[in-house]
Amino acid sequence: MDKIKQEIIETGKLMYQKGYNVSIDGNISVRLPGKELMITATGTRLGFLTEEDIVVTDYAVIYFTVQNVQLPKRCCTRKSTKSGMM
């Protein structure tokens, strides 16, 4: 797990250096074997991550929570293209 955390930290640094994110924009996550997810904590600065900023959680809990949230329809709409979903 420490190797995965180090890869997340390095990815955050690279994204920050290339200007892909600023401040506390977004998260980095990795799906682990079973039903676990390793993810950067909310509010962390991706360019300056530490191992303590990365948490492991149960993927099923997150999936269940998202499924029960009412989102505006425009957030959930996907456009169909000849090459597949967009």
11-66, pLDDT tens digit by residue?
Answer: 999 999 998 887 777 889 998 988 888 999 888 899 999 999 999 988 766 555 55
Give the number of residues written for the chain: 86
Q: Are 37 and 53 in contact (CB under 8 A)?
A: no
Q: CA–CA separation, 80 vs 86, rounded Å?
A: 6
Q: Is the pTM of this model over 0.85?
A: no
pLDDT: which is higher, 25 or 4: 4
Where does the pLDDT of residue 84 fall: very low under 50, low under 70, confident under 90, or very high at 90 and above?
A: very low
The DSSP 8-state label assigned to residue 24 in this structure reads: T
- How far is 42 from 26, CA to CA, in rounded Å? 8
pLDDT at 13: 94
